[in-house]
Amino acid sequence: MNYKLQKLKKLKSIILFGLTLIFINCQDINESNDDLSSSSIQTVSSAEAKFFLSNKVNNTFSKSLKNAMDKLELDKMTYEELKGSDQFLAVIPFSTNNEIQNDRILLTKINNEIKGVIFSMYLEKSTIEGKFSGKIIINSLDGEFLNGFRAENDIIVSRLVKSNLSEKNNRTAKGIGLDSFNAQSIELDEVIIMNRTHGIPMVDEFSWNSIYGGGGSSEGVSWNSTGGGSSPVPSPAPLNATNPCDKIKEQMANVLFNSKKDELSKKTSQKAETGFSQNKNGPFTSLGVVDANTLNLPTDPNIIGYMHTHIDEFENGKFDNDGNPYLNKAIKMFSPADVGAFLTLVKNAKTNNIPISTVYGAMVSSSGTYELRFTGNPDNILPIKWTDLNNVYKTYFKNDSAEVGFLKFLKDKANISGIELYKINKNGTTTKKTLDAKNKIVDINC
């Protein structure tokens, strides 16, 4: 990225004396949307941010934008305060940032939909030490120019807009902003802000509407774009959390856990299951393969959990009398042996004074990722030979979905309460799965 400020296209300074026009341009910086409240603004979790950006890179970004995203430093994401709101703005820097150029991705949720922009600041010489003077460019994550401003000593003095003249004349001039983020060639005009009816717009109180166009905001919501008011990434859940939802949120914020889960999700088309066990201190260990549908979970007092795949169906090389191939077809839900292994870990945790809330079993398949948690009394776990239930287990899936069949099986055959089923959704959120009185699935979002 050989971007140099001195090579920026020359801006056209246009002073608008018409009161109506000036009022509209000024309102774009300070206006509010009375139909929406600040409660529609929500904080994006670290897991949601990772999934959202990964999906964007894989499915939306152009090659140049993908290259730019390689410089994104997700591990340095911070949450910064929003003045006028109890929510936080997720701010992710780029490794290419320096004293002159500061590019960041800003993520938030507006009405439960994640919104993101690339917020770029280009420093020019300040007349007052510690104050920002320079250009601010806001691009969409798809590389479209959204908004631009010029500041002098922390005060917004002008707005940068697309030049109508350049569109009419079909001109091509690189827009102001990081080269890799511009998906189109544009020329910008500078509109001097002369009417300050709504107060003086400041860099350290950057209007929410100037960033996101008014969506999900209320009057007074702003962000300190100079970096003040930042805080470490808030913990998704207390470190001593015992609620399964909170414990799974902790997992989803753990880079190592996610990397193992993502690794397994790429192996569901293989012809043998793969998996890992997890030590109470954090490390993961690969599970030994017994056969295509069986893994060996070692007897170790320090193991608190496991995750493994249930693979897609495939021809196993055998044929019936008519020459039709037999299919190896696994049910994409926890097997009786999986449940037994999970309860063994629960009992092991009780014996070794390991918090029961840390114990889990996870299953990754092409149909979804699920996790088992236990909230009952470990002393009530009976010594059941779970593999003896294989045949009766299969009958639960003849007429019901995997979720319904599994929960009905637990209710009828587990002989203990407290085994809970959770689905880890593709967007990083979690949903508890239960049955109502009519054996219909009830979703409880964490």
Q: Quick check: 155 and 202 in contact, CB under 8 A?
A: yes
Q: Quick check: 221 and 33 in contact, CB under 8 A?
A: no
Same domain, yes or no, for 71 and 185? yes
Cα separation of 156 and 147, whole Å? 13
Local structure of 111: helix, strand or coil:
coil
Looking up tokens 């000036």 gives 22
Q: Give the residue from 178, 209, 231 where a domain finishes.
A: 231
Crossing angle of helices 244-252 and 46-59, in 10° steps, is: 50
Tell me whether residue 271 is in a domain.
yes
Q: Give the residue from 231, 253, 283 where a domain finishes.
A: 231
Cα separation of 264 and 274, whole Å? 7
Cα separation of 436 and 407, whole Å? 11
Tell me whether residue 2 is in a domain.
no
Cα separation of 90 and 228, whole Å? 14
Same domain, yes or no, for 308 and 424? yes
Give pLDDT tens digits along the chain (446 positions).
332 323 333 333 332 222 222 222 232 333 333 333 444 787 887 777 877 887 766 555 555 566 667 788 877 888 788 888 777 888 889 888 888 888 899 988 887 788 888 898 888 875 677 788 888 888 888 778 888 888 888 888 888 887 765 444 433 333 333 344 544 455 666 666 544 444 456 777 777 777 876 544 445 678 887 764 444 444 333 333 468 998 999 888 888 888 889 899 999 888 888 899 998 888 888 888 777 667 778 778 889 999 999 888 767 667 777 777 776 778 899 999 999 999 999 999 999 999 999 999 999 999 999 999 999 888 888 888 888 899 999 999 998 999 999 999 999 888 888 999 999 998 889 999 999 888 999 999 98
Same domain, yes or no, for 265 and 392? yes
Tell me whether residue 224 is in a domain.
yes
Same domain, yes or no, for 291 and 383? yes
Q: Give the residue from 203, 231, 259 where a domain finishes.
A: 231
Tell me whether residue 376 is in a domain.
yes
Q: DSSP string covering 10-64, please?
A: PPEEE----HHHHHHHHHHHH---TTS-GGGEEPPPHHHHHHHHHHHHHHT--HH
Tell me whether residue 65 is in a domain.
yes
Same domain, yes or no, for 226 and 248? no
Q: Which residues contact 47 (CB under 8 A, 6 or more apart)?
A: 236, 249, 252, 253, 258, 428, 429
Cα separation of 296 and 411, whole Å? 26
**What phi-psi label fits residue 406: left (phi over 0), alpha (psi between -120 and 50 degrees) or beta?**
alpha
State the Rg of the chain over Cα.
28
Same domain, yes or no, for 201 and 254? no
Domain that holds residue 12: 8-231
Same domain, yes or no, for 258 and 196? no
pLDDT (0 to 100) of residue 63:
58
Cα separation of 383 and 372, whole Å? 19
Q: Which has the closest alpha carbon to 215: 84, 86, 35, 82?
A: 35
Same domain, yes or no, for 215 and 265? no
Tell me whether residue 3 is in a domain.
no
Same domain, yes or no, for 256 and 157? no
Q: What is the pTM of this model?
A: 0.48
pLDDT (0 to 100) of residue 426:
87
Give me the number of domains the chain comprises.
2
Same domain, yes or no, for 251 and 159? no
Same domain, yes or no, for 41 and 187? yes
Tell me whether residue 159 is in a domain.
yes
Tell me whether residue 189 is in a domain.
yes
Q: Quick check: 109 and 115 in contact, CB under 8 A?
A: yes
pLDDT (0 to 100) of residue 83:
82
Cα separation of 46 and 229, whole Å? 19
Cα separation of 60 and 114, whole Å? 15
Same domain, yes or no, for 117 and 147? yes
Query: Three-state SS string across 373-407, please?
Result: EECCCHHHCCCCCHHHHHHHHHHCCCCCCHHHHHH
